[in-house]
Structure 1
Amino acid sequence: MIEMKIERKKVSMQVFDRIKEMIQQEKMKPGDKLPTEKQLSEMFGVSRTPVREALSVLEASGLTTSKQGGGSVIQATSLSNLMEETQFEFVDPEEVLNLLETRIILETEAARLAAERRTPEELDEIKQNLDAIRLSQDENQIGYKEDIAFHNAIVKASHNPILNQTIEGVTNLYEKAIRFSLMKNMGISEKRAQVLSEHERIYAAISQGNGPKAKEEMQNHLSNARKKFEEELNQAANS
């Protein structure tokens, strides 16, 4: 194995990059198993926590998959993406910008309707998904599935089947956007706390039955996500 020590700055994302370099340098093939968490920790001179975070990012992006009994293996369909030199390797930037614009249009109104129409059971489902987001942060996971479930529960509570169908139609791209956005927050507690706070304010407005406030909070949350992505896009263009 190649020994590669790294600096302790955004450690999980540095580990993520080093694992990709290792795969390329060692010419690992689809189906090959990555070293264990413990082995990677020793190779990079870091604790197991950032290694676990990096492996979570790799799996969420589709580059690896968990193997029964422990460990991660390379996915055959992901090797071309793995070797790309762009920081937007998991998404089409232009498509994501369009998607986020569409989400702002649709989900702000969905939040307003959910505040006015949700049943006690639907409110409980939204709350459970919010709790799952909080737990994913505590366990240093990306939490993209929990984030998607939270938003989908709100759309469901709008009681508008056409709106539900429309959101389902962009699910694939939506998942990619969420993975990318949350992946950028890995290891940055302040940003993760901000996103959680935004979700909490959305839930609070829906719980209070305050439609205009729920719409406002969803607008703020999704606008921040779009702004963050545009900043990343500009940085990539200028680098």
Structure 2
Amino acid sequence: MLNKILVPQSVAREIQSMIQSGSLKPGEKIPSQREFSQKFGISRASLREALLTLETLGLLKTEAGRGTFVAGGPSSASTHMGPWRYSDSYSVFDVFQTRIMLEGQMASLAAGRLMANQLDEMERLTRQMEDGWAQQDLLANVEADLEFHAIIASACSNAMLRALYDSVREQVTATQRQPIPITDPARMRASIAEHRRIIAALRSNDPAAARIEMETHIRNTARCAGLEP
């Protein structure tokens, strides 16, 4: 399972580096999946997962009948999010609404259970988010965000809620990536500040504050995506 997760991440990082270095230029059509999968020595399924991640982050765009192109990266004026991959089962609105209820409660139940080293790690991940955004390393930014939320979920005292979170984690993490193409610097600064308020509430062992800060953070992220759950 670990390798299945890490291979697409590693390839996505290599392709992002190619875009940042100019090896793949804005507007350029990327090589075919057959050629790219051979280049990286991976399956086409793993490559498709990597490409989908980069498309969701706004680094690539797919045009029907033409192929996949470099979108120009986050410095270009993106005005819409990438395709929502779970549209056949749940809307983005449904997932954000569920996140508010689920992660708000889990944050409440994690207060008083997180170890000092876990809280310190959450501080480090928040700095990684900040640094990743400043360097336009969107993968580092998002990976830090995913791990931040996962640490809180892991400390929730309710085993059934932890199991529910795991069962919908793919959809949850998709909503963490989805707004990135339309996130402006002011919203990212606000998001990072919200993370720090969540940490402060958890350090204070304050369940009510942890719930409020988490719910506020997810609502604000949903608003960035143009939703009002």
TM-score (norm 2): 0.63
Residue 53 of structure 2 aligns with an amino acid whose one-letter code is: S
Kept after mapping to 2: 8 A contact 1:107/1:155: yes
Matched, 1:204 2:200: yes
The 3 A distance-change label for structure 1 pair 215 and 124 is same
Q: Hey, what's the Cα distance between the residues in 2 that align with 1:229 and 1:189?
A: 14
Cα distance in 2 for residues equivalent to 1:133 and 1:63: 19
The structure 2 residue matched to 1:180, chosen from 178, 181, 194, is 178
Contact 2:129 2:192 in 1 (8 A): yes
CA deviation after TM superposition for structure 1 residue 231, in Å: 4.9
- The 5 A counterparts of 1:40-51 are none
Match of 1:3 in 2: none
Specify whether residues 165 and 79 from structure 1 end up closer, same or farther in structure 2 by C-alpha distance, changes over 3 A only.
farther
**Cα offsets for 1:80-125 (capped at 9, x unmatched):** 5848xx9443315652211111110011111112223222233233
Do the aligned residues in 2 keep the contact of 1:134 with 1:196 (CA within 8 Å)? yes
Letter in 2 for 1:178: Q
Q: Residues 205-225 of structure 1: CA distance to partner in whole angstroms, max 9, x if unpaired?
A: 111111111111111111112
Q: Does 1:194 align with 2:186?
A: no
Q: In 2, distance between residues paired with 1:63 and 1:226?
A: 19
Contact 1:100 1:222 in 2 (8 A): yes
Matched, 1:111 2:107: yes
Alpha carbons of 1:31 and 1:131: their partners in 2 closer, same or farther (altered >3 Å)? Answer: same
The unaligned stretches of length 5 or more in structure 1 are 1-11, 34-57, 65-71, 233-239
**Is this contact kept in 2: 1:111–1:155, CA < 8 A?**
yes
* Correspondence 1:148-163 to 2 at 5 A: 148-163=146-161
Q: Percent same amino acid at aligned positions?
A: 21
Instruction: Provide the rounded CA distance (Å) in 1 between the counterparts of 2:117 and 2:31.
Output: 48
Closer/same/farther in 2, CA of residues 204 and 172 from structure 1, 3 Å limit: same
* Structure 2 letter corresponding to 1:134: E
| C-alpha RMSD of matched pairs (Å) | 3.5
User: For residue 163 of structure 2, what is the aligned residue in structure 1?
Assistant: 165
Q: Give the match for residue 53 of structure 2.
A: 61
Preserved contact between residue 80 and residue 182 of structure 2 (Cα < 8 Å): no
DSSP-derived class of the 2:122 partner: helix
Counterparts of 1:11-50 in structure 2, within 5 Å, are: 19=26, 21-23=27-29, 28-31=31-34
How far apart are residue 22 of structure 1 and its match? 3.5
Larger Rg: 1
Which AA in structure 1 matches 2:83?
Answer: F
Q: Distance in 1 between matches of 2:188 and 2:35?
A: 33
Give me the whole-angstrom Cα distance separating, in 1, the residues matched to 2:101 and 2:108. 12
Deviation at 1:134, TM superposition (A): 2.3
Structure 2 counterpart of 1:29, one-letter code: S
Stretches of 4+ aligned residues off by more than 3 angstroms: 78-83, 86-89
Map 1:224-235 onto structure 2 (within 5 A).
224-231=220-227
State how far apart, in whole Å, the 2-side matches of 1:217 and 1:145 are. 21
Instruction: Give 3-state SS (helix, strand or coil) of 1:158's partner.
Output: coil
TM-score (norm 1): 0.61
The unaligned stretches of length 5 or more in structure 2 are 1-18, 37-49, 70-78
The aligned amino acid for 1:175 is T
